[in-house]
């Protein structure tokens, strides 16, 4: 039986997920709520190895291979980290989950075509035993996120994509939020860090 809450964060590049998760974890700690903070792709030792390959600019794979590797990483992450934590009554705070697959592999790589989306749906149905209780989609114009992210790091294999790719990814998140408004809450990611943290806490505290 699952007792803990499963919270995922989603959004295009540089929207502020890491910053927002820091804020949420501080507030959970203040409430005395035990949580496990994790991320995808990755989160377990084997999935972190796959993450390195997936983000490495030298990796040359086709779209189906990328999709299957995302699910291989997720399967291990679920088995090793997510399900045990939830069963132990802990909250799981996950930086990206299945909605990133729909957005990046389904809309970014697959242009939102039905074939790719059906493959993803089948993989979710077959290999994902539980969906997040709440997903926070940090909504920020793509260009603004890129500007925030650009201040910081060297581009990985996904960050090297062109603007039209990220526009499609954004459309993927938007479409999913519209299709599943109960689970996926849109959070305005513009404004000061504290303002965004307050919006997130308002959404999450309804789960308490």
Given the rule CB under 6 A, which residues bind ligand Z5A?
11, 13-19, 40-41, 70, 95-96, 100-101, 104-105, 148-149, 151-152, 158-159, 192-193, 196
> Considering beta carbons, is residue 134 or 200 the nearer one to ligand Z5A?
200
> Considering beta carbons, is residue 24 or 70 the nearer one to ligand Z5A?
70
Distance CA 182, CA 142 (A): 24
Distance CA 174, CA 44 (A): 29
Minimum CB separation of residue 34 from ligand Z5A in Å reads 23
Minimum CB separation of residue 1 from ligand Z5A in Å reads 26
> Considering beta carbons, is residue 11 or 132 the nearer one to ligand Z5A?
11
Q: 38, 81 in Cβ contact below 8 A?
A: yes
> Considering beta carbons, is residue 19 or 171 the nearer one to ligand Z5A?
19
Minimum CB separation of residue 32 from ligand Z5A in Å reads 25
Minimum CB separation of residue 18 from ligand Z5A in Å reads 3
Q: 19, 199 in Cβ contact below 8 A?
A: no
Q: N- to C-terminal Cα distance for the chain?
A: 18
Minimum CB separation of residue 86 from ligand Z5A in Å reads 18
Using only C-alpha atoms, the chain has a radius of gyration, in whole angstroms, of 16
> Considering beta carbons, is residue 4 or 106 the nearer one to ligand Z5A?
106
């Amino acid at each position: 039986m699952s007792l803990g809450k499963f919270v995922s964060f989603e959004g295009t590049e540089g929207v502020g997920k890491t910053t927002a998760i820091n804020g949420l974890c501080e507030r959970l700690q203040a409430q005395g709520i035990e949580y496990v903070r994790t991320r995808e792709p990755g989160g377990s030792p084997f999935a972190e190895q796959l993450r390195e390959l997936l983000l490495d600019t030298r990796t040359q794979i086709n779209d189906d291979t990328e999709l299957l590797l995302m699910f291989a990483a997720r399967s291990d992450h679920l088995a090793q980290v997510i399900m045990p934590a939830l069963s132990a009554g802990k909250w799981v705070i996950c930086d990206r989950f299945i909605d990133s697959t729909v957005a990046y592999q389904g809309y970014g790589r697959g242009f939102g075509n039905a074939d790719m989306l059906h493959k993803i749906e089948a993989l979710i149905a077959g290999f994902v035993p539980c969906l997040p209780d709440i997903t926070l989609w940090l909504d920020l114009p793509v260009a603004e996120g890129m500007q925030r992210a650009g201040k910081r790091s060297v581009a990985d294999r996904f960050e090297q994509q062109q603007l039209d790719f990220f526009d499609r990814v954004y459309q993927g998140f938007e479409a999913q939020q519209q299709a599943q408004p109960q689970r996926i809450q849109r959070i305005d990611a513009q404004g000061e860090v504290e303002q965004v943290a307050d919006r997130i806490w308002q959404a999450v505290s309804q789960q308490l």
